[in-house]
Structure 1
Amino acid sequence: MLALHQTALGGPEVLRLTEVPRPAPGPGEVLVAVHAAGLNPTDFKHRAHSIFLPPPPMTLGWDVSGTVVETGVGVTLFRLGDEVFGMLPYPCGAGSHAEYVTGPARAFAAKPAGVDHVQAAALPLAALTAWQALVDTADLRAGQRVLIHAAAGGVGHLAVQIAKERGAHVTGTASAAKHDFLREIGVDVCIDYRTEDFTDTEQRYDVVLDAIGGETATRSVGVLRPGGILVSLVPDAEDTQATAEKAQVRAVTLLVEHDQAGIRAVARLADRGKLRAHVSGTFPLAEGARAHALGETGHTTGKLVITVR
């Protein structure tokens, strides 16, 4: 099979369309013919620095939407021909930027019939991150107030939709050029991070979702009400924890997990039209390096997707 493969760490230029062995499903696994695979910032970071993965050679990609073409021993959830989508186990289950990929059957859910493969591939990692942050961790409820940093980003714009579906009041930060988009997806109050200080307010939030880290995370503690929670997607600094303890709020760092209950919840929202990824660009597998280069600019809205079939 063909895969977007790398044998060294570095910039997008290290990615090559390469013929590699097609994997076979082990016990409890399915082999999926990939139709489309989402691209996330973690792909850029792992391509350049490996982070959680062993050194190259490797094929990246955690998001996947496709068709089950083979099942391993013990799989009861899916049959050949089923259309599925999901997130491979993060961080060590990468490999969806290829024509075929294997993964645990319970990392997948049935793809909603009304959602195409590109849209389905854009959802899993980012939507699961948002769901696990807002629902599983923060227990966001109707009437609560949430501040979402980088609200037009991959995780951010899906977190906005999940928060609104749960009845929360949403404030989102993004550049002014993206405020119309934020309003379209339900943001109640938009903050231009380039010209406005999000701490310059009397407003206090029940939840802050932070995808930026560093000083932004630490300063976010100050806008939480007592008993509120900061969920950061970037490893927290000691000063953030110390600041949170003094302010009597909770600060946690989330690392997304593959989660069948979560991906089924995402599927239900998508099936009802309550959760939709904004796909700002698609690229064939052979042009995966170009997708990486665009994504690394940090200026895209929503998600980029690699198409395979």
Structure 2
Amino acid sequence: MRVVVIPGNGGPEVLTVENRPDPTPGPGEVLIGVAAAGVNFADTMARAGLYEDAPDLPAIVGYEVAGTVLDHGAGVDPATLPLGMRVMAGTRFGGYAEKVCVPVADALPLPDRFSFEQGAAFPVNYGTAWAGLLGYGSLRAGEKVLIHAAAGGVGIAATQIAKRTGAEIWGTSSPSKHKAIKAQGVDHAVDYTQKGWEKSLPKMDLVMDAIGGESLKRSYNLLRPGGRVVAFGASIVLPGDRKRLSAAIPQALRMIRGFNLMDQMGDSKAVIGLNMLRLWDDRGSLEPWITPLMEMIDDGTINPVVSDTVPFDNAPEAHRIIAERRNIGKVVLVP
């Protein structure tokens, strides 16, 4: 089978296509023929050497795929996910491949109205959005929520879920993306490129922050008493298409130094860290964050937006699109 490999740290150009033996499903696993693989910001950080949880190099990354069931491992009831069924799945690395084995608990039927590309945009993005907004952020109807990077995969997922919840939504993006994020449900589009943009905003009940660095303190200051910041990324430490330590180190230090707990208690504010990979490892499955989303698929709330579909052979371009913030929605790779 063909796979996209990170042979060593570097810019997008290090991504290479190689041939590897086909995998065989182990007990409790299904083999999926991959039609589309999601690209996440964590993949670009792994390539740059800035992602602590990345596998050792050379590595095949990729957290989510959509495709068809090709085989079952021992102990899997064939009636659960029959051969040939269209599925979407969390892959816990290895998704940038023509075939991948996953635990049966991390695969689920692909809705008829979803394309394979949309299926590859679902597990991680929507699981993260649900966990941040509802699982840990406790968003309620009528509350004010600020979603950073509202045009990204998680940003659009969070907007759709927050809109269903009945929240009033502010979303940050560059001005060229404002029309797109409003179409997804953002009530107030914010141009983060303007200095002092935060000064015109009201106090927030919840902020979804994937930017990290200095943005976290700004998000915290935007909270009203009882407000919550959910920190689930650090895109600011990878500002371009290659690793830049001169830019990354100061921003990373701002996060390491943390917050004053006495101030947090006095202000009655919360800062919540969210790492879906650690949660996935601890629970053994994505099921706790995926199951609550099924109702939202059924009622039409969830509509994954695919920005770019990129062939394996042009994988470096997929990473450039993400790193340069050119996407509106999800970037996916196709074999």
Q: Name the counterpart of 1:70.
A: 71
Counterpart contact for 1:217–1:240, Cα < 8 Å: no
Return 5+ residue gaps in structure 2 as ranges.
Answer: 235-254
Paired residue secondary structure (2:71): strand
1:146–1:171 contact (8 Å) kept in structure 2: yes
Taking structure 1 as reference, are residues 282 and 241 closer, same or farther at Cα in structure 2, changes over 3 Å only? farther
Residues 6 and 149 (structure 1 numbering): CA distance in 2 closer, same or farther, change over 3 Å?
closer
On the 8 A contact 1:171/1:190 being kept in 2, the answer is yes
Instruction: Give structure 1 regions of 4+ aligned residues with deviation exceeding 4 angstroms.
Output: none
TM-score (norm 1): 0.92
Instruction: Please say if 1:107 is aligned against 2:122.
Output: no
Contact 1:85/1:111 (<8 A) preserved:
yes
The match for 1:81 is 84
Alpha-carbon separation, structure 2, partners of 1:27 and 1:198? 53
Bigger shift: residues 237-246 or 160-169: 237-246
* Correspondence 1:248 to 2:268: yes
Partner of 1:200: 199
Question: 2: distance between equivalents of 1:246 and 1:252?
Answer: 17
After TM superposition, the structure 1 stretch with the greater mean CA deviation from structure 2, 19-28 or 284-293, is 284-293
Q: Distance in 1 between matches of 2:146 and 2:197?
A: 9
Deviations 1:87-139, CA, capped at 9 Å, x for gaps? 22xxxx20111110011111122110111101111222111111111111112
Question: What SS does structure 1 have at the residue aligned with 2:68?
Answer: strand
Q: Which residue of 1 aligns with 2:47?
A: 47
1:177 aligned onto 2:176: yes
Alpha carbons 2:169, 2:188 under 8 Å: kept: yes
Name 2:213's counterpart in structure 1: 214
Alpha-carbon distance between aligned partners in 1 of 2:63 and 2:192, rounded to the nearest angstrom: 30
Counterpart code for 1:24: T
User: How many angstroms apart in 2 are the aligned matches of 1:124 and 1:293?
Assistant: 22
Corresponding residue for residue 31 of structure 1: 31
Amino acid at match of 1:56: L
Contact 2:89 2:102 in 1 (8 A): no
Root mean square deviation, CA, Å: 1.9
Distance 2:127 2:47 in 1: 22
Q: Name the structure where helix makes up a greater proportion of residues.
A: 2
Q: TM-score, normalised by structure 2?
A: 0.85
C-alpha deviations, 1:181-206, integer Å up to 9, x for none?
Answer: 11111111111111253431462221
Is the alpha carbon distance of 1:267 and 1:65 closer, same or farther for their aligned partners in structure 2, counting shifts above 3 Å? Answer: farther
Q: CA–CA distance in 2 between the matches of 1:268 and 1:115?
A: 15
Q: What stretches of structure 1 of length at least 5 have no aligned partner? A: none
Displacement of 1:238 after TM fit? Answer: 3.1
Q: Is the 8 A contact 2:69 2:87 kept in 1?
A: yes
CA–CA distance in structure 2, aligned partners of residues 81 and 135 of structure 1: 34
Q: How far did 1:73 drift?
A: 2.0
What's the secondary structure of 1:240's corresponding residue?
coil
Question: How many residues are aligned here?
Answer: 304
User: Helix, strand or coil for the counterpart of 1:305?
Assistant: strand
Measure, in 2, the Cα distance between the counterparts of 1:244 and 1:156.
26
Partner of 2:246: none
**Which aligned pairs between 1:3-14 and structure 2 lie closer than 5 A?**
3-14=3-14
1:109–1:263: 8 Å Cα contact kept in structure 2? no
> Matched residues in 1 for 2:311 and 2:297: separation?
24
CA contact (8 A) 1:222 1:247 kept: no
Mapped partners of 1:15, 1:30: distance in 2:
27
Aligned to 1:290: 317
Q: Does residue 277 of structure 2 align to residue 277 of structure 1?
A: no
